[in-house]
Amino acid sequence: MDKSTVVKKLDFIKEIKGSNSFYDVHAHPFDVFQGPFAYKPSSIHPDLFSAGGSEYTSQQIVDLNLKKHLGMECREFDQAIKDKFSLLNSRMLYAHTGPKVFGDSMLLGGIDRVFLLPILGGDDEGSGQLRVMAGMFGGDKRFMLGYSVPNSMPNEKIAQAVSDAANDYGVKVLKIHPSLQEIDLATRAGVERVETILEASRMARVKVVIHGGLSLRCSRPEASTYGAVSNLEHVDWGITPETVVVAHAGCFGHTLDDARASILPRMGAMLEQYDNLAVDTSGIGFEVLCLVLKHIDLSRILFGSDCLYEKQWGAVVSLMCALEQTVPSPEVSLVRIASLNPASRFLGGQSYVDQALSQMSPIY
């Protein structure tokens, strides 16, 4: 899709959007491998933070390749080569962060509010990263802060830590990444760890986003599958009544054939079992996204971009194009996935969605 077509599509999307607020439920304030501590305030703009000496330039709309592969779908490359490219690429993408960077991105894509999801590895201390994130983004209503429980924290301290994060920093969502946090959901200890976090979610009334699928750049090769749907099935997601979003619809790193034959049928069974489960659209290729829209009830799908790893405007356009290929009412469905579903799951209830849809269109 060339640039002029992308611009026209974005203009059309913003017309569809109308007065609704669009939410991105899956964005990362920092590179998940490097963390926040190398950033320094910029002298150019008070809401810009930079790591290294490169000059900040705001994103521009360019040609969009809907067929490109995301995550680990190109398995023919040697893992070490992919890891090196991923490291170098993420450092470039996250040379700058802050409300200025995200605000410029949101403006292009028509996004109004973003959930910022940090990820902590086994040795990270969550309070330090949370303080830095709050210092950058806190107080700006466009951003809702997330928290990741450090793996060094004993289970018995998790509930208090989550409560403190919610009370002291206004945290709205917990991020779990089994592979990067080395939570092996094939073991009882790993399941107990996640279920302890779910109990903390229930007590503090905060939502949860958990990585779904395979992973790159794990410290141990076997950890790459810890977030696979076959492992997520072991967890009792009903422990918390709060929304739990399975990121990437459980498909990250999986091929189209994997998604069709195994992942999405298993995700469908989990969604049927647990009313509080939903999925997001982040970090999956266009063809897999089309499958997700065909196989999962649209009321359970939330828009996510994986920004800044992926361009928000590109993710919005990809979603619109996928809806046009898969559902009878793509305009209404876009508003539902990017606005009504996340608003109801994170801010309101199903009655909010029903009322909004009745005012939009008699056909859905």
* DSSP secondary structure letters along 281-315: -TT--HHHHHHHHHHS-GGGEE----BTTS-HHHH
Q: Is residue 286 part of a domain?
A: yes
Q: Which pLDDT band, with edges at 50, 70 and 90, does 356 fall under? A: low
pTM score above 0.85: yes
- The four Cα atoms 128, 131, 132, 136 give a dihedral, to 10 degrees, of 170
What phi, psi does 274 have (nearest 5°)?
-125, 115
Q: Which pLDDT band, with edges at 50, 70 and 90, does 363 fall under? A: very low
Q: Is residue 83 part of a domain?
A: yes
Task: Decide if pLDDT at 73 tops 80.
Answer: no
Neighbours of 80 (CB within 10 A): 8
pLDDT tens digits, one per residue of 288-327: 999 999 999 999 999 999 999 999 999 999 999 999 999 9
Q: What is the mean pLDDT of residues 27-48?
A: 92
Number of domain units in the chain:
1
If you average pLDDT over every residue of the chain, what do you get? 90
Instruction: Tell me which residue of 325, 250, 322, 324 sits closest to 283, measured CA to CA.
Output: 250
pLDDT tens digits, one per residue of 202-229: 999 999 999 999 997 787 889 999 999 9
Q: Is residue 151 part of a domain?
A: yes
Percent share of the chain, pLDDT over 70: 88
- Exposure string (b/e) for 286-312, b if CB count within 10 Å is 16 or more? bbbbbbbbebbebbbbbbbbbbbbbbb
Task: Decide if pLDDT at 30 tops 90.
Answer: yes
pLDDT, residue 75, reads 47
Order of all β-strands in the sheet with 113-116: 23-27, 113-116, 143-147, 173-176, 207-210, 244-246, 277-280, 301-302
DSSP states of 101-127? HHHHHHHHHT--EEEE-----TT--HH
Q: What is the mean pLDDT of residues 92-112?
A: 97
Q: Is residue 280 part of a domain?
A: yes
Q: Is residue 364 part of a domain?
A: no
Q: Is residue 270 part of a domain?
A: yes
Q: Which pLDDT band, with edges at 50, 70 and 90, does 141 fall under? A: very high
Inter-residue long-range contacts of 59-63, CB under 8 Å, 24+ positions, other chains counted? 59/104, 59/105, 59/108, 59/311, 59/313, 61/3, 61/6, 61/7, 61/10, 61/108, 61/313, 62/3, 62/6, 63/1, 63/2, 63/3, 63/6
pLDDT, residue 216, reads 79
pLDDT, residue 221, reads 86
CATH value at residue 14? 3.20.20.140
Task: Decide if pLDDT at 155 tops 60.
Answer: yes
Q: Tell me, what DSSP letter sits at residue 328? A: S
Quick one: CA dihedral 253, 255, 258, 261, positive or negative? positive
Range of the domain at 262: 3-359
Determine contact, residues 114/144, Cβ cutoff 8 Å: yes
Q: Is residue 257 part of a domain?
A: yes
pLDDT tens digits, one per residue of 239-263: 999 999 999 999 999 999 999 999 9
Question: Quick check: helix, strand or coil at residue 135?
Answer: helix
